[in-house]
Structure 1
Amino acid sequence: MRLLLTSLLMLSATLTYAADTSTRIFDQSMRSLRACLETDYYAPPVIELGGDDRVRVEFDDINSERRYMRYSLLHCDAAWQPSQIVESDYVDGFNQADVEDCEFSSGTFEQYVHYGISLPNQDMPILLSGNYLLKVYLEDNPDCVLLQQRFCVVEKRVGIGAAVSSRTDVDYNDSHQQISITINTANWSINNPYSDLRVVVSQNQRTDNEVMVTQPLRVSGNTIVFDHDRQLIFPGGNEFRRFEMVTTNYAGMGVERYTYSHPYHHAVLETDEPRAFESYSFDRTQYGRFTIRESNSYDSNTQADYMITHFSLAMPRLADGDVYVDGEFTQHRFANLNRMHYNVDTQCYELDLPLKQGAYNYQYLWLPNGMNVAQTAKIEGDHYQTVNEYMIRAYYRVPGERYDRLIGYGLIYSGH
């Protein structure tokens, strides 16, 4: 009876956890949050259940002293809502562990402590596939979450094939890209793909325009096909813009000049212009990601400095909405921190952000008032030729189970 009560209390705590399960930073002293694979710096944080690879989560705390932190995991369903299971179902042992991997900055104007967490590990073995939210909090205050990061664990039960076409159901070689998906279930039985299967597609790690499809076009034997679905049509967008501030000895790509005003270095980026009416131009990017790098250091994680980075976009003010700087370094969120402000004197949208030295991808997104999905068309333009990264995840809830398994995962690139 006592064990049952304990389990019910744990389940209740899970279900009443804040609805916001997005990757985000709560404590503004935390910066440069990113997640990848230990073996691939640019791979999305998706690992195989029982596999050899691990997710690596890193971040900085702008502080001269170490703060003692712990972390825990929350299992989520396909829609990133807390699963109706208890912690002992998905973690073998206690669902909390100390953040032990930390290093102090060296030779920088901005003092900080660099932290890292690799998952799974001996303190945090993972038992189930699915969506996970890593929560980091102070050792003496577990109710105050400092930051949280999404990652996924997949059990490869089905094969995923996909294609991207510019010949869409809404236009032909114009401004959109359409995804078609084929799921092979030869090695895994899905009783009712029309009710138990959910397929999620995201573009360049964005979550605002991520879609979930549940109704296949057809099912034939071991093949499930999702095609000619309006939800699987994405605006093409444009190649990400780029800048590099890897040294203060010279102005790198996209940087107009460096200045120093105690106690910070400042990186003034070249003023950007809208590209909505320009012809498409190819550029090789990292699909919105950023890389921490200081060219003269042997360990950029602790020797790269922070700079106040000045963005400016020269264009008339847009009514009925806001402009945001978007990229992995903003967690693809629409928050005050990355919302641009219009300067009537310079006729520019402007934003200042403290960023760590490195190479960055970014774009400008327009978010109309009252909407949750931002647009590329007004500023960046939409082109069918744009090379985008599409991540496809297939979830299945086995009849009788109370969580969504992630049974398939794949990446596909348009224009390839």
Structure 2
Amino acid sequence: MISKTAYTLFLTALLSAGMVACVPIEQQGGATGATQTAIRYEDYTYDQSVQSVQCYVATGTADQYLEPPVVSLRQQQSMVLEFDRLHVGPQRLVAKIIHCNADWTPSVLTETQYLNQFNEFFINEVQSSVNTRVPYVHYQFEIPKVKLSGNYLLQVTEEGGNLLLTRRLLVYDELVTVVAKLGTPTGPAGRAARQPVEFNVFYKDYPLVNPSQEIIAVMRQNHRWDNVKTYPRPTFVRDDQARLEYTFFEAKDHFLGLSEFRPFDTRSIRFNGVGVVNINTEVSPVEVQLEPNRSRQGGVYSQEPDTDGKQVYGNREYGNAMVNADYTWVNFELREEEVPNGAVYLLGAFNDYRLSDTYRLRYDTERNAYRGRVLLKQGYYNYYYGFKPNASSEADAAYFEGSHFSTGNAYDVLIYYRPPGSRADLLIGYDEVYFNKR
């Protein structure tokens, strides 16, 4: 992670083409083929026409599109949702907000307890793509403010009920003070690969009833939901100081630092950006070939600027990412011997680190490499390769990427509490810390 000044300059240059954002995509595809499915209380895309979903805080700064959807209840900034629908004409879409408990199950609160408005919001900011080979419609929606802290799920459907996507939102109240800090590495293995983060919760001005049992703490790395760590109890309760102490002594309680993310830049189809070796504009959609990669396992740490796994969209030729950025086929290649009893996947915020067939690479015996392609909107991307053993439901990014204590990562801490007599978990504290920020 680079210094705050350098990081801001890096992002300003990165976003200088005048782009609008969006984030992960769960499915690739052409014509809409949605099916009615049960709602999932997570970041998820249900319809294959929906692409390039991003939810962020509208700070008005150059790097706002990288901001996670986390806002303070007392200083509520606007959160914005953006996404595209490919090969589908403009339609009337409806958004709804659902209050959830700490475990992302729906709370029993009535809508009037957390909203000042009727819980049905039409998405009116709609634009069709301009001069793109892949036609799409772009939607933008400013999320209404709520009056209670906690977890929220934003749901978007077609008028009539066909579910399109869901996104997780966080609204915290500053009732307790959370102070996160860098901890001490645990043992030789922990020192080399893991990043210890500790934190304290001060509750002098907000009396907690039975805090050792009622407080739930959650920590995320780079704002990811796929590998969060949940701490149901503090390590120590300092009643005399009105302080909860979370100190971790085992390596399993610390995140792997991994490596800086691999980047590529497709914001131009006239010249090769970072990580790109060839662009074929004679086909439609345009075909982009990335540089062949190799495993970084066992290698030394390399300090490179990244966006912590996230991406920004843009088009250097026309500048308006909202409707001018086109979709291109992006070809990935990992040159490694075939690994038995497992599968290789692409991982990043662009797919919510989700394992699906769209992002799986197949082994090419002639090239001795894992290969695959994904239809992605023009932009600057970060990604990892992950290996999923057949017996596991998760992919191990360290298998190909390695892991280092020195890697720059962002961590945030969420503190949940259900006051006596209340019917839902509230998010009463929040803090963010950068590990190895330069």
Establish whether residue 130 from structure 1 lines up as the match of residue 150 from structure 2: yes
1:343 equivalent among 360, 364, 367: 364
Distance in 2, matches of 1:389 and 1:340, equals: 28
The answer on 1:107 being equivalent to 2:131 is yes
Q: How does 1:118-267 map to 2 (within 5 A)?
A: 118-120=142-144, 125-140=145-160, 142=161, 144-165=162-183, 167-168=185-186, 171-220=189-238, 221-230=241-250, 232-267=253-288
Segment of structure 1 superposing worse, 313-322 or 209-218: 313-322
User: Are the counterparts in 1 of residues 186 and 249 from structure 2 also a CA contact under 8 Å?
Assistant: no
Deviations 1:251-292 (A, max 9, x none): 110001101354310111111110002100111111001001
Q: CA deviation at 1:180?
A: 0.7
1:317 maps to which of 327, 332, 338: 338
The Cα RMSD (Å) is 1.7
Identity of aligned residues (%): 30
Paired with 2:286 and 2:190, the residues of 1 have a C-alpha distance of: 47
Can you list the C-alpha shifts for 1:95-117, whole angstroms capped at 9, x where unaligned? 11111111111111111111111
Q: Unpaired segments of 5 or more residues in structure 2?
A: 1-36
Contact preservation (8 Å) 2:345, 2:395: no
Conserved 8 A contact 1:166-1:384: no
Residues 362-399 of structure 1: CA distance to partner in whole angstroms, max 9, x if unpaired? 11122223434432221000111111111211111112
Could you say what secondary structure the match of 1:195 adopts? helix
Relative distance call for 1:18 and 1:75 in structure 2 (3 A) is farther
SS in 2 for 1:27: coil
Contact map agreement 1:166 1:174 (CA 8 A) in 2: no
| Maintained 8 Å contact 1:313/1:349 | yes
1:285 to 273, 284, 306: 306
Distance 2:107 2:361 in 1: 36
* Mapped partners of 1:166, 1:333: distance in 2: 31
Q: Is the 8 A contact 1:49 1:128 kept in 2?
A: yes
Of 84, 93, 102, 1:69 maps to 93
Q: Name the structure 1 match of 2:410.
A: 389
* CA apart distance, 1:229: 4.9
| Structure-2 separation of matches of 1:258 and 1:207 | 34
Note if contact 2:153-2:168 (Cα within 8 Å) is conserved in structure 1. Answer: yes
* Deviation for aligned residue 1:41: 2.1
Which AA in structure 2 matches 1:392? V
8 Å CA contact 2:129–2:324 kept in 1: the answer is yes
Q: Distance in 2 between matches of 1:68 and 1:192?
A: 48
Q: Which residue of 2 aligns with 1:32?
A: 52
Shift of 1:173: 2.5
AA at the equivalent of 1:110: V
State how 1:45-60 maps to structure 2 within 5 Å.
Answer: 45-60=69-84
Residue pair 1:165, 1:414 contacting (<8 A) in 2 also: no
The amino acid across from 2:181 in the alignment is A
- What is the CA–CA distance in structure 2 between the aligned matches of 1:232 and 1:161, rounded to whole Å? 18
Q: CA distance change for structure 1 residues 170 and 409 in 2, over 3 Å: closer, same or farther?
A: farther
Contact 2:40 2:166 in 1 (8 A): no
Identify the residue that residue 11 of structure 1 maps to in structure 2.
none
Aligned to 2:389: 368
- Name the CA shift for 1:300/1:383 in 2 (closer, same or farther; >3 Å): same
Q: What's the counterpart of residue 8 of structure 1? A: none
Aligned to 2:347: 326
Contact map agreement 1:168 1:177 (CA 8 A) in 2? no
Contact 1:158 1:187 in 2 (8 A): yes
CA distance in 2, matches of 1:291, 1:160: 30
Displacement after TM superposition at 1:359 (Å): 0.4
Kindly indicate whether residue 103 of structure 2 is the aligned counterpart of residue 44 of structure 1: no
Paired positions, count: 394
Question: 1:191-230 CA distances to partner (integer Å, 9 max, x unpaired)?
Answer: 1111110110111233232111022111212211100254
Structure 1 residue runs without a partner (length 5+): 1-16
CA contact (8 A) 2:99 2:107 kept: yes
Query: Quick one: structure 1 residues 64 and 374, their matched pair in 2 at CA, closer, same or farther if it must change by over 3 Å?
Result: closer
Amino acid at match of 1:128: L
Distance 2:167 2:151 in 1: 11
